[in-house]
């Protein structure tokens, strides 16, 4: 049995919501960008599994305004938080 991948067209409203969840992309934040933009789209759409997303229009990085594709690495808001204790 062969599994198939469902193509999902991503509307501009969803693209804007996904853009709002990121702070940067691979060109402007190369070290911190570790997540594919299509993972952010999957979270917004609540679709996980065998899906391939197709953007209805280009997404833009909120930081550098570069065009973002489904396969561009991005950095989420908040990133990984690290707590530190400073003793006095």
**Quick check: 22 and 55 in contact, CB under 8 A?**
no
Domain boundaries, the chain: 6-76
Query: Within 13 Å of residue 1, how many CA atoms lie on the same side as its CB?
Result: 1
Convert the pLDDT of each residue in 39-68 to its tens digit: 999 999 998 888 899 999 999 999 999 999
How far is Cα 11 from Cα 45, in angstroms, rounded to an integer? 10
The model's pTM is 0.81
The strand pair at 35-36 and 51-55 is best described as: unpaired
Convert the pLDDT of each residue in 2-46 to its tens digit: 568 889 999 999 999 999 999 999 999 999 999 999 999 999 999
How far is Cα 64 from Cα 8, in angstroms, rounded to an integer? 27
DSSP designation for 61: -
The strand pair at 6-10 and 35-36 is best described as: unpaired
């Amino acid at each position: 049995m062969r599994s198939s991948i469902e193509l999902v067209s991503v509307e501009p409203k969803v693209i804007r919501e996904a853009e709002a969840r990121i702070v940067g992309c691979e060109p402007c934040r190369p070290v911190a960008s570790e997540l594919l933009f299509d993972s952010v789209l999957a979270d917004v759409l609540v679709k996980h599994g065998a899906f391939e997303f197709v953007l209805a229009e280009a997404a833009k990085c909120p930081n550098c305004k570069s065009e973002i594709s489904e396969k561009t690495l991005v950095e989420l808001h908040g990133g990984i938080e690290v707590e530190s204790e400073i003793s006095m």
